[in-house]
Amino acid sequence: MGLTVSELTDMIQAVGKVIEDNKAFLTELDSAIGDADHGINMAKGFHAVKEKLPTLADADAGTVLKTVGMTLVSTVGGASGPLYGTAFLRAGMKIGNKEELLAVDLDLGLVAALEGIKQRGRAEPGDKTIVDALQPAVMALKESLNAGKTATEALGAAVTAAEDGVEYTKGIIARKGRASYLGERSLGHQDPGATSTYLMLRTMQEFLARRT
């Protein structure tokens, strides 16, 4: 893969843009089963990240990711800030002071992100959360890399798995967060967090595809 730190920051900028572009959509999803603020809060967080990234020109990959995580924790309201912030922090800690990221680092970073989200949110598959998109994506990525696929191809498999995970959330009852208060009324609605996870992964894959 050979992703430089400069390219990593460009990828994060692209992720922020897709969140901003889908702010209204994510907020609409959240209005059905949550506080109607997921898109608004996430866009606010990534706007703060956008302002922070130029100060990291000489930083290593781990520092960039940890800074993104800390920025999201401090600026994103609700549950999303701690969850996504933890994901980036854990990924940064796992990757460390590398100047170039390989496919194995993508795998290590996403596994660490998933573990962080599960621990912080105490969520498991089937709870109608981010995990329902991210866990199958991480599994698909690892299987593809083990099969000799490129990082772009493996991330493509992860995106497909995440999209299936978003669809899966429509048919289950929420067991975490504000949506859990609705009980069976949460059926038929896709989870906003799973959706934003899918959008992020899709943007990462598209970025790598353009690059190659």
Q: For the segment 67-119, what is each residue's pLDDT rounded down to a tens digit?
A: 999 999 999 988 899 999 999 999 999 999 999 999 999 999 999 999 999 99
Does the structure show a pLDDT above 90 at 1?
no
Q: Round to whole Å and give the CA distance between 48 and 170.
A: 31
For residues 179 and 106, the model is more confident at 106
- Of the listed ranges 29-38, 107-116, 155-164, 197-206, the one predicted with least confidence: 29-38
- Of the listed ranges 158-167, 178-187, 194-203, the one predicted with least confidence: 178-187
Give yes or no for a contact between 184 and 30, defined as CB atoms under 8 angstroms apart. Answer: no
Bridge partners of residue 4, in order along the sequence: 100
Q: For the segment 12-22, what is each residue's pLDDT rounded down to a tens digit?
A: 999 999 999 99
Label residue 27 exposed, middle or buried (CB < 10 Å: 0-12, 13-18, 19+): buried
Q: Round to whole Å and give the CA distance between 26 and 113.
A: 21
Give yes or no for a contact between 190 and 166, defined as CB atoms under 8 angstroms apart. Answer: yes
User: Mind listing the domains of the chain with CATH numbers?
Assistant: 3-211 (1.25.40.340)
Q: For the segment 156-173, what is each residue's pLDDT rounded down to a tens digit?
A: 999 999 999 999 999 999
The model's confidence at residue 180, banded by pLDDT at 50, 70 and 90, is confident
Q: What are phi and psi of 155, to 5 degrees?
A: -70, -30
Rounded to 10 degrees, the C-alpha dihedral 7/80/170/196 comes to -20
Give yes or no for a contact between 139 and 107, defined as CB atoms under 8 angstroms apart. Answer: no
Percentage of the chain with pLDDT > 90?
89
Does the structure show a pLDDT above 80 at 185?
no
Does the structure show a pLDDT above 90 at 141?
yes
Q: What mean pLDDT is reported for the chain?
A: 95
